[in-house]
Amino acid sequence: MNTIKLTMSQALTKWMINQKIEQFSSKHENAFVGVWGIFGHGNVAGLGEALFDVKDKLPTFRGHNEQGMAHAAISFAKQKKRRQMMAVTSSIGPGATNFLTACALAYVNRLPILFLPGDVFANRLPDPVLQQTENFADATVSANDCFKPISRFFDRITRPEQIIQSLPKAMSVLTDPADCGPVTLSLCQDVQSEAYDYPETFFEPKVWKIRRQPCDFDELDNVIKKINSSKKPLIIVGGGVKYSGAKTELENLINSTGIPFAVTQAGKSSLDETNSKFVGSIGVTGSSVANELAKKSDLVISVGSRLQDFTTGSNTLISCEMISINVQNHDVVKHKSISLLGDAKVSVKLILERINNFHISKQYETEINRLKNLWEADVVRVTSKSDKNFLPSDSEVIGAVNRNVPKDTIVIGAAGSMPGELHKLWKSGDVEGYHMEYGFSCMGYEIPAAIGVNLAEPDRPNVIFVGDGSYMMMNSELSTAVMMGISTTIIVTDNRGFGCINRLQKSTGSEPFNNLFKDSHHQKLPNIDYVLHAKSLGANAEKANSIEELEDLVEKFISRKEVNVIVIDTDPDQSTEEGGTWWDVAIPEVSKNQNVKKAFEDYSIFRKKIN
């Protein structure tokens, strides 16, 4: 057997370069397109040296915050529909633990990313080393053990030869349609630099084909019987449709049967939303038409959704039978569903082939169109400029931006007010044009996400909606975006605090407290100039003092291949009342506040409706 002597880090990077993934087009593309890294004593000498040697084949990108780097890598994988990915590396200690929020985000959203944090010395001779978290009861524990519950696969590399077994296992998870998610390989810093005679066959190019799980034909027959006997079916499109590449098959089913479809946050823009059967978003952040149809439906067909509480209205929105089509057995049994375990593309195609010319009734079509017309009128009204308020609402800002960007624009968001408003109101002009992180609803994802999205699709314009709260959490990557030549337009909506949670707090009967600056402990209210701040990090930035100015600036900036920031003051108390459904936010059972007592009474009534 021929061998080659390499350090563990050199072998790791050499192996990564030789991994390919089969794309939807059947072409083979590099599985790993880059590594994000902030170096420290725990990775600079070992992995850092190895990355330098392969920088022309596996580029290394530098960020300003480990969490931000990981967000950029995750957003890249999301926009690439999990068919390409990145790795991230840090030193031990705070560098590694800064990854944890992003790792949890990838875990919840089932997105592939390879975490390569440095770790303590495997030989333990210099213990305790700088940044080591000593555990007085278990000498094998380090800070990186925090990754275990939020990684789909975890391994600690304590000998250089261990990667021969560990790396293929890691890749099998990163490319698994059901168990996809973050992989953490904790790299002991001395082992990173240790050499081993690796077999040359370990580095032979390998193509990973994304498995398409066939469905059970007994389950399929049962599903078809249920659809054929339904009178008012509704399809929920989840993110699994996107990752399966099931667009054509699902659109064929919808067009053939006339069944209306609604979308989750992850599923939005998976299909063409100009389709006459599109009824908007579903759930807590849903349209009135989709939610009304869900309430009256006799069969809901969920395709590729994990059916989280925002989709189901905390399990109160849908009371009829539900079919769940999913590759993940954990998801397919949720909501007491009729299960069809299998790949969305394969399953939907089989359903269409066997459904016996099923089509919804003219009466149901008429009802769908009536509700759609009412909702469309609501959307036009709430997204149009209003002179009733001193400051514009988020919905007015969305309307102004939506009207002035090209149809192929990718809209990006994550936490706070904007995901709910965008889910309801944003009109996606093209498929794959809605990039929302709402599984973890992670503040700070937005700006790093623009980097990943632009790296994934450099020829499409993108626009970010980020509140001042999220901006303050992760604005450092503005500088990274500028340094890398990223193209993005960022809309900073300044409502002077956490406006979304302030509204939620008041809706539960509580007094405004600790959310807006004015209601928080202070001696002096902050007066943050986001324009000057963005400019100081190298971005173009301007303030819009009205909706008209916002429209002009969006039109001016959206085609510029630069980092552009537009700041606009918004009303923290306004949100779109139309649409939506109940969401379970637990109200205190005992309170001195009469408003809280009343809110608990109402809450108790809704709790009884949970299916």
To which H or E segment does residue 146 belong? none
* 510 and 534 co-located in one domain: yes
Q: Enter the tokens of residue 10.
A: 């050199």
Q: Is the pLDDT of residue 173 over 90?
A: yes
Q: What is the mean pLDDT of residues 493-514?
A: 93
Q: Is the pLDDT of residue 389 over 80?
A: no
Q: Is the pLDDT of residue 608 over 90?
A: no
To which H or E segment does residue 305 belong? none
* 392 and 440 co-located in one domain: yes
Q: What is the pLDDT of residues 518-567, one digit of tens each?
A: 999 999 999 999 999 999 999 999 999 999 999 999 999 999 999 999 99
Q: What is the pLDDT of residue 610?
A: 80
Which residue among 373, 396, 416 closes a domain?
A: 373
Burial class from Cβ neighbours inside 10 Å (0-12, 13-18, 19+) for residue 320 reads: middle
Residue 157: which of 11, 348, 35, 301 has the closest Cα?
Answer: 11
Is 576 contained in some domain?
Answer: no
Q: Is the pLDDT of residue 611 over 80?
A: no
* 163 and 17 co-located in one domain: yes
Q: Is the pLDDT of residue 388 over 90?
A: no
Strands 19-22 and 28-30: antiparallel
Q: What is the pTM of this model?
A: 0.97
Q: What is the mean pLDDT of residues 429-439?
A: 96
CA distance 490 to 557: 10
CA distance 349 to 511: 53
Count of structural domains within the chain: 4
CA distance 36 to 33: 10
What's the half-sphere exposure (Cβ side, CA atoms, 13 Å) at 67? 18
Q: What is the pLDDT of residues 1-24, one digit of tens each?
A: 899 999 999 999 999 999 999 999
Is 574 contained in some domain?
Answer: no
Q: Say if residues 279 and 287 touch (Cβ distance below 8 Å).
A: yes
Share of the chain above pLDDT 90, in %: 95
Q: What is the mean pLDDT of residues 20-32?
A: 96
Q: Say if residues 112 and 181 touch (Cβ distance below 8 Å).
A: yes
Q: Enter the tokens of residue 490.
A: 């960022």
CATH number at residue 293: 3.40.50.1220
Is 128 contained in some domain?
Answer: yes
* 235 and 343 co-located in one domain: yes
**Domain assignment of residue 64, given as a range:** 3-208
Share of the chain above pLDDT 70, in %: 100
Q: What is the pLDDT of residues 120-152, one digit of tens each?
A: 999 999 999 999 999 999 999 999 999 999 999
Q: How far is CA 537 from the centre of its chain?
A: 26
Is 260 contained in some domain?
Answer: yes
Q: What is the pLDDT of residue 386?
A: 82
Please, what is the angle between helix 8-17 and helix 163-174, to 10°? 40
Is 509 contained in some domain?
Answer: yes
Q: What is the mean pLDDT of residues 292-302?
A: 97
Q: Is the pLDDT of residue 436 over 90?
A: yes
Q: Quote the mean pLDDT of the chain.
A: 96
Q: What is the pLDDT of residues 194-219, one digit of tens each?
A: 999 999 999 999 999 999 999 999 99
